[in-house]
Amino acid sequence: MGQLVAGQWTDEDQRGVDAHGRFVRPDSPWRRWVTTDADAEFPAAAGRYHLYVNVGCPWAYRAVLYRALKGLEDVISMSCTAPGMGREGWTFLDPDSDGASRDDFTGHAHMHQVYSAADGDFTGRVTVPVLWDRERQTIVNNESSEIIRMLNSAFDAWAAHPDIDYYPEPLRPEIDAINERVYAALNNGVYRAGFARSQSAYEAACREVFAELDACEARLSRQRYLVGERITEADWRLFSTLLRFDLAYYPVFRCNLRRLVDYPNLWAYARDLYQQPRVAETVDWDAFKGIYWSRVGMIPLGPDDDWHAPHGR
């Protein structure tokens, strides 16, 4: 996992690990916002913004999902990188098309070229999702949790489903509290287990993952969704991790105390979310496998979980 240094790509592994072997995720550096204010630096507009994503990446998948849920496909264009990383990180090069780029927006070969186009001296990791401004020719934001907040409301004037609000003001304190806990222990916790470089760091992270899964299981035994009887941002952020759990985090990241399908309430809840309108078509199981298993070797056939089974919730 390389990075840019003063605008030049280096393929040295820059994954952050502290002195105790614990994985430390760096903060996203691009944190500007699209708003409904016409005089803002980045005002909302149809056709002005572009998303760079990888549909297999759980962080980028959040943006893919929100774009579909809100009906923004004709408002915000999107480019998808190939499933696995190459020597130059996220790439648009398709091995089945003689090296042609899959990025119809710019024709770039690699995602790091997008970052360099925004800042020729940029130093740091090259991640997705990225929200790009066509007019200013720059990156607006590369933090998934903030991008989905923008997609949730900033583009409602053009959205096919403007009445859907996954971050309603009365529920924001509870949503934020759940997000904070789920992110630390579960969304990022699986990576702290998978990327740990010591036995103690792995075991601590793995136990936190399952403690949070247990807590969510208990919460969902009392109510349909994490914040009551309506779907909120907290559910979609958890859903992105649950989609990948049995396929990747259980076998590849060694989060293998229990599977998602071993949790009656969580498994039914995950199917409930999957079966919501416009969700299933955003899920690409082959892309998921391509990210996590390409570095391991053989791509597995399973797991054969039935996401279409009645959820009963």
Burial 8-46, CB ≥16 within 10 A → b, else e: ebeeeeeeeeeeeebbeeeebbbebbbeeeeeeebebbe
Distance CA 15, CA 95 (A): 26
Interhelix angle 233-244/144-153, rounded to 10 degrees, is 130
Burial class (CB in 10 A: 0-12, 13-18, 19+), 254: middle
Contact (CB, 8 A) for 130 and 114: yes
Catalytic choice (49, 52, 57, 216): 57
- The closest alpha carbon to 22, from 186, 198, 208, belongs to 198
Burial 178-213, CB ≥16 within 10 A → b, else e: bbeebbebbbbbbbbbbbbeeeebbebbbebbbebb
- Is 57 marked active-site? yes
Phi, psi angle pair for 3, to nearest 5°: -160, 170
Catalytic choice (191, 249, 269, 292): 191
Distance CA 22, CA 26 (A): 13
User: CB atoms < 10 A from the CB of 122, how many?
Assistant: 20
Distance CA 117, CA 107 (A): 13
Catalytic residues: 57, 191
